[in-house]
Amino acid sequence: MNAISMNMVTLFYLVASVCFIQALKGLSSPSTARVGNVFGMSGMAIAVVTTIALMLKLREQLSSGGMGFGLVLLGVVVGGAIGAVAARRVEMTKMPELVAAMHSLIGLAAVCIAIAAVSEPWAFNIAARGAALPFGNRLELFIGTFVGAVTFSGSVIAFGKLAGKYKFRLFQGAPVRYPGQHIINLLVAIAIVALGLMFCFSSGATPAWTPFIVMAALAFVLGVLIIIPIGGADMPVVVSMLNSYSGWAAAGIGFSLNNSMLIIAGSLVGSSGAILSYIMCKAMNRSFFNVILGGFGGEAASTGGGGAQEQRPVKSGSAEDAAFILQNAESVIIVPGYGLAVARAQHTVKELVDKLTEHGVTVRYAIHPVAGRMPGHMNVLLAEAEVPYDQVAEMEDINGEFGQTDVVLVLGANDVVNPAAKDPTSPIAGMPILEAYKARSIIVNKRSMASGYAGLDNDLFYQPNTMMVFGDAKKVIESMVKAVE
Cα separation of 348 and 341, whole Å? Answer: 12
**347 CB neighbour count, 10 Å cutoff:** 15
Assess contact for 438 and 432: CB atoms under 8 A. Answer: no
Cα separation of 152 and 156, whole Å? Answer: 6
Q: How far is C-alpha 473 from the geometric centre of its chain's CA atoms?
A: 25
CATH topology of domain 310-484: Rossmann fold (3.40.50)
Cα separation of 344 and 338, whole Å? Answer: 10
Nearest to 298 by CA among 131, 182, 403, 145: 182
At position 224, the amino acid (one-letter code) is V
The residues facing 394 across adjacent strands are 367
Mean pLDDT by 10 residues, the chain (485 residues): 65 92 85 88 91 72 57 84 84 77 88 89 79 86 92 89 74 77 91 94 82 95 88 73 87 84 90 83 69 48 43 87 94 92 90 93 91 77 86 91 95 89 81 91 90 76 94 93 87
Assess contact for 148 and 108: CB atoms under 8 A. Answer: yes
How far apart, in Å, are the Cα atoms of 246 and each of 100, 108, 153, 190, 251?
10, 9, 12, 21, 9
Cα separation of 36 and 182, whole Å? Answer: 41
Q: Tell me, what's the pLDDT at 434?
A: 93
Assess contact for 370 and 236: CB atoms under 8 A. Answer: yes
Sheet with 441-446, edge to edge strand ranges: 392-394, 362-367, 331-336, 407-411, 441-446, 466-470
- What does R_g of the chain's alpha carbons equal in angstroms? 26
* Spatial CB neighbours of 43, under 8 Å, sequence gap ≥ 6: 15, 16, 17, 18, 19, 20, 22, 23
**374 CB neighbour count, 10 Å cutoff:** 22
Q: Tell me, what's the pLDDT at 474?
A: 92
DSSP assignment letter at 132:
P
The pTM for the full model equals 0.76
Q: Which of 234, 321, 397, 415 is catalytic?
A: 415
Assess contact for 291 and 269: CB atoms under 8 A. Answer: no
459 given a catalytic annotation? no
DSSP 288-305: HHHHHHT---SHHHHHHT
Domain ranges of the chain: 99-297, 310-484
Cα separation of 125 and 258, whole Å? Answer: 9
